[in-house]
Structure 1
Amino acid sequence: MAPTRTSLVTASLCVSQFVVTYANSCITAALPTIAVELNISDANIQWPIIAFSIAYGGFLVLFGRIADQFGKKRMQLVGLAWSLIWALVAVFSRNEIMLDIAMAMQGLGAAIGIPAALGIMSVIHTTEQSRNAAISFFGAMNPLGAVSGIILGAVFTQTVGWRYMFFVPLALEALALVVGALSIPASVDHHLQNPVKSEESSLEGTSQEQDVDNGGSQTKGRVNGLGAVLITAGFTLLTFALAGGPVAPDSYKTSYIIAAFLLAALSLIAYVLLEFKFAKNPLVPRTFWKIPGMPLLMAMALVVQMSFFSLATYCTFFFQRVYLETPLTAALHFVPIAIMGFIVATLSGYIFTHVRNLFALIVFGSCLLAAACAIFGTAGVDTSYWVHPFPGLILSVTGFELIFNSLSIKIITAVPPSDRAIAGAMFNTCVQLGQALTLSIAVAVVSTATDGYADPTSPQALAAGYGRVLLMDCGFAVAAGLLACFEWVRSARTGAAGPTSARKDEDVVLGESNDEGVVEGK
């Protein structure tokens, strides 16, 4: 594929990832104003964010498998178009319910498109260095989108109005939709027209007979319907319970939150039994979990996101409620994150190509992230931004980018192209669950830390509470580093550096494609 075309595809895919984090963060800065205009109660003020998270986290696995079975390009474009429509609906929202539905549908659009985007990204780049750089830039869209959302959300809210902030994803998604439709080659879904041979199609080189028995790559167009219902219901209910618990009338003791947890547990247990014991076409190939180190990689993704997302969230609270700054001034403090994230992403292609053991980078990144949390966690009411927050933010984004991109590369390149959308979906599901889980824990931590103060909402009390949360985040970062060390030692003993790339299958699809989408080898 021509370099210009590859660059266009990469840019359109990165835009789709940027929009996801932008949409989820811009509304955070605007929520107080939105609540007043739409008459949203304090108890329901978080529901636009929660609605997005529920739809996104709950449907990732389902649409990841659908993308692998029915076409990554098709699902990427459908996801963009769907999100575009509902971004427009959000602009014209007239009440709380309309806004909640619009945000939930944008989350659904992200769940449709993001797994496919990550799968396409890993397929169109034919060299290790370009693939690593592309996946790193894709990952850099997370902090860049989040910071842009916080800043632009504050700017629009304080100037022309909060509704205008939704025109940003609307315009970007329209552009990415057109560029993607014209530039994404049909060869990214070549395995659907010409299924790869048995020895190349399954994870870790299992035979076609083993693939049926053990749940390897599926036959084109076949999805385990019951498994899809169970895992979607399970993750949706779990995300709802974790995210909705802190804002429920009686917190996690609320009856519907308890019911959601129980139903989520039952759904996920039933899914595991069905997929691992009975299903001939499992939603997630059973061999996916048999790849050496894969469960630990998913666990690392969970705890790393718990650390970084909580840090970013409570840093925002710290600036606004401890330093008593305006939303816009607080947002500007995050500019270094965007700049540093872009620098790390730019260098990542070189770094990841020359550092052969990515577990070393994960351990190093975990140390940086833990140090960032510890530094910021000791900040007080009178602490200068340049003494604690600034170095904490710089170290945090550097460490997070190294970890996140290393994990992305490890997970995506460990499976053949026919399974990369579902691999990306599982990775992003762990990320979403990490976000919901860490915020639910953080609420309890802040409450406990501020109970001893005469005024629990005073800057001094909140500084103590937020500091306790950041020290908790330090522990999550250390846990990620320990998991990486464990896998590093395990892989050294077995002579394999964790999950390895599925090279054979890549060779089938990474040739040039003609206008009919038929792959022509180089």
Structure 2
Amino acid sequence: MHDDGAIPRRYSNDREDGAYTVTNTRTPSVASKEKSGMTMEKGNSQPEAPSVNHDMHAVKEMSTLRAIGLVTILTLAMLINIANATAVSIALPTISREFDLQPAQVQWIVSAYPLSSGCLLLVCGRLADVYGRKKIFMIGSLWMTIFTMACGFSNNIMTMDILRGFQGVGGALMIPSALGILAHSFPPSRARSLAFATFAAGAPIGSVFGTAVGGVLTEFTAKTWRTSFWLIAGLAACCFVGGQLLIDRDPPTGEKDRRVDWIGAFLVTAGLVLIVFVLSQGELAPKKWGTNYIIALLVVGVLLIAAFLYWQHYLEKIQDNPNAPYSVWTPPPLMRLTIWTRANGRFAATLGIAFTNWSAFLAWSFWVQLYFQDYKGYTPLDSVVKLLPMFVTGLLCNVFVGFMAPYVPIIYLFVIGTGSTTLSCLLFAIINPKVTYWGYAFNSIYLSCVGADFVFASGTLFLSKFALPHEQSVAGALFNTMVQLGTAMGVTVSTVVFNNVGKDIPEGGDTIDKYRAAQWAAFAFGVIATALCIISFRGVGVVGERARKPGDAAHQASENEKGTSSASTTVEDIGGANSHLIVPPPSGGLKADIADQSYLTTTTSATLGTAYASSSANTVAIGQKTVTPSASSDIADLKAKDFESLAESNNGEMKTDVQ
């Protein structure tokens, strides 16, 4: 049945669990690809729809030391991103006195950084996926070094605000590219779970580091708050040097059309800037939310986001139509809207959980610090000491997630995380100021980080499984954009509640009810996040990968692949008992549909991985073959080229159904 263009293959059924394996003896030829009908028609200059180049995602083996160094550098980027906010917050009273600022002016020192970084994340994520994650990470770390150093030399508030805005661009460049580098460098394995968990640890560590170091340097150094900026600039320089040494050269991009949708970039950036501006300034405007320019900017911002979504939908339709004529005005979309529907909508649910959990967490954090300093009268350094349990909890939680993600279903990780955030807010919502620190505050503080760490680590792991290789940075950018928007929303809503309750308190009266009310608002966001977890992830399995034991089939396949620089992608029974894989012809790239319209890809030389059967009664149809695996055993370990081979012999499409 094979001609010169076909793919010779041999079949074997020598696995102990009865799984059916296929092995190639040579790679697809050009003739076989033409035979599959995937070549472009003559005269049609429209680039093909985004597809995966099977040879481009090979991952070189790393030594343990190099892997640790790489994860450390990328985690440092996350630490810097968070510390840039907390180090400034703790130094605000000192900065305000030095520049003789009004309260409204102080707000922009804090807001300028998240405004620019949060609104540019999606654009920078796309740039990283198209032009190379290492390039964008290096540019971002150098940018961060320069403008953070410059912030330390500011001599007036206008200069400070502008430099803080430019500083945020560096964060937007670094974080999505760092997540993309992690996803590419660590194939599905325990190492990947640990890498993502460690990266997530950069957030709580950065929060405590920025607060603690910022407070100490501001209080005990001659240059006060300026020293904090210079220290962070030094850390950013370490990212630049370490990234140059430890991050592998960028592989070829997964998309043949490398144009960037600048129209979409403008729409989403402008829309987010206006929305975040309104959220941060609504309570500070002359007539608050009734101020004319606040209403106008909010309406324009929402319309721009709506226009962006419509434009992305239009571009996606154009890109998916092979007969559409080529046009310079229709580049690939900045973000394919169908990415939100993957994993049966759980991709979108994960982003919603990130948004609501961070709304609760950051609102909690904001009001706890004000409670300590304004209500209890603690110094900034005293407040730092009170918050230190967050640092310890952050480290322990991320180690736990890294090791337990392959064994604990994601719903439990999510619910433990969001539930802890909710309980943390509740403890401060009912706090009795006369009770010792160990009664309410301590328990709330150590629980707070559980939510942030569990949700960040588990959420980014989940999204990375359902993003194509050339979408990893965009997926990371989406997650972090929702985190930034959640931060703004949580603080804004809780501030409205705080101010409204405060109006009813007589002058000189006890203001504890204001702080409790703000925490009740944060508590409400936590409840929504927990409900989303329970509703969306019931029955979903683990998100991490177990370590392969010597002697098992998966390990043997991995060993056989060594020397060919393979990167494996695992397909698990995420969608339930009726999972299946759909594979197009060779040049279309490998696509796996996990019972719910979600997609994964692998390289030509990659082991596709394992899909788990839920009972011994399940059978797997591979082409014309049917296999009955043992209970809880691997259904099949197949290589990408083998799937393509089977697809060719099955009229261009092959399905393996768990029946």
TM-score higher than 0.5: yes
The structure that is helix-richer by fraction is: 1
Percent of aligned pairs with the same amino acid:
27
The answer to whether the Cα contact below 8 Å between 1:39 and 1:96 also exists between their aligned partners in 2 is no
1:57-76 → structure 2 map (5 Å cutoff) = 57-76=118-137
The answer to whether the Cα contact below 8 Å between 1:414 and 1:499 also exists between their aligned partners in 2 is no
Q: Give the match for residue 475 of structure 1.
A: 524
Gaps of 5+ in 2: 1-61, 320-331, 541-573, 580-593, 609-640, 642-659
1:110-259 → structure 2 map (5 Å cutoff) = 110-160=171-221, 161-186=224-249, 189-192=250-253, 195=254, 218-259=255-296
Q: Give the match for residue 494 of structure 2.
A: 442
The answer to whether the Cα contact below 8 Å between 1:67 and 1:116 also exists between their aligned partners in 2 is yes
**TM-aligned CA distance change 1:509 to 1:415, over 3 Å:** farther
Q: Give the match for residue 424 of structure 1.
A: 476
**TM-aligned CA distance change 1:268 to 1:500, over 3 Å:** closer
The answer to whether the Cα contact below 8 Å between 1:410 and 1:499 also exists between their aligned partners in 2 is no
Stretch of structure 1 that moved more, 410-419 or 277-286: 277-286
| 2:398 aligned with 1:337 | no
**Aligned partners of 2:337 and 2:300: how far apart in 1?**
24
**Aligned partners of 2:183 and 2:130: how far apart in 1?**
17
**Aligned partners of 2:480 and 2:96: how far apart in 1?**
30
Listed one character per residue, the Cα deviations across residues 253-294 of structure 1 (whole Å, up to 9, x for unaligned) are 223322221221111111111111245411102331220211
How far 1:190 moved relative to its partner? 1.9
Number of residue pairs aligned between Structure 1 and Structure 2: 481
The answer to whether the Cα contact below 8 Å between 2:494 and 2:522 also exists between their aligned partners in 1 is no
Listed one character per residue, the Cα deviations across residues 206-238 of structure 1 (whole Å, up to 9, x for unaligned) are xxxxxxxxxxxx534211121111111111111
Of residues 420, 427, 432 in structure 2, which corresponds to 1:368? 420
Q: Give the match for residue 71 of structure 2.
A: 10
Q: Give the match for residue 23 of structure 2.
A: none
Stretch of structure 1 that moved more, 118-127 or 42-51: 118-127
**TM-aligned CA distance change 1:181 to 1:507, over 3 Å:** farther
How far 1:245 moved relative to its partner? 1.8
| 2:334 aligned with 1:283 | yes
| 2:167 aligned with 1:106 | yes
**Aligned partners of 2:293 and 2:606: how far apart in 1?**
50
The answer to whether the Cα contact below 8 Å between 1:48 and 1:104 also exists between their aligned partners in 2 is no
**Aligned partners of 1:100 and 1:354: how far apart in 2?**
46
**Aligned partners of 1:500 and 1:178: how far apart in 2?**
38
Return the letter of the residue paired with 1:269: A
**Aligned partners of 1:508 and 1:89: how far apart in 2?**
46
**Aligned partners of 1:128 and 1:247: how far apart in 2?**
48
The answer to whether the Cα contact below 8 Å between 2:201 and 2:395 also exists between their aligned partners in 1 is yes
Listed one character per residue, the Cα deviations across residues 472-522 of structure 1 (whole Å, up to 9, x for unaligned) are 222211211111111123758854698978352596699xxxxxxxxxx9x
Return the letter of the residue paired with 2:271: G
Rg bigger for which structure?
A: 2
Return the letter of the residue paired with 1:258: I
Return the letter of the residue paired with 1:378: I
Return the letter of the residue paired with 1:311: W
Listed one character per residue, the Cα deviations across residues 3-41 of structure 1 (whole Å, up to 9, x for unaligned) are 222221111111111001001111111111101111221
Q: Secondary structure of the equivalent of 2:286?
A: coil
Listed one character per residue, the Cα deviations across residues 60-103 of structure 1 (whole Å, up to 9, x for unaligned) are 11110010000000000111100110011111000001111111
* TM-align CA RMSD: 2.2
Return the letter of the residue paired with 2:479: F
**Aligned partners of 2:244 and 2:105: how far apart in 1?**
39
Return the letter of the residue paired with 2:464: I
How far 1:183 moved relative to its partner? 1.1
| 2:555 aligned with 1:504 | no
Q: Secondary structure of the equivalent of 1:249?
A: coil
**Aligned partners of 1:249 and 1:26: how far apart in 2?**
29
Q: Give the match for residue 102 of structure 2.
A: 41
Gaps of 5+ in 1: 196-217, 511-520
Return the letter of the residue paired with 2:411: F
TM-score if structure 1 supplies the norm length?
Answer: 0.88
**TM-aligned CA distance change 1:221 to 1:415, over 3 Å:** same
How far 1:139 moved relative to its partner? 0.9
**Aligned partners of 1:250 and 1:306: how far apart in 2?**
25
Return the letter of the residue paired with 2:526: A
The answer to whether the Cα contact below 8 Å between 2:141 and 2:240 also exists between their aligned partners in 1 is yes
Q: Give the match for residue 405 of structure 1.
A: 457
Return the letter of the residue paired with 2:313: F
**TM-aligned CA distance change 1:506 to 1:2, over 3 Å:** farther
**Aligned partners of 1:435 and 1:306: how far apart in 2?**
5
Stretch of structure 1 that moved more, 177-186 or 396-405: 396-405
**Aligned partners of 1:4 and 1:499: how far apart in 2?**
38
**Aligned partners of 2:108 and 2:575: how far apart in 1?**
48
The answer to whether the Cα contact below 8 Å between 1:43 and 1:249 also exists between their aligned partners in 2 is no
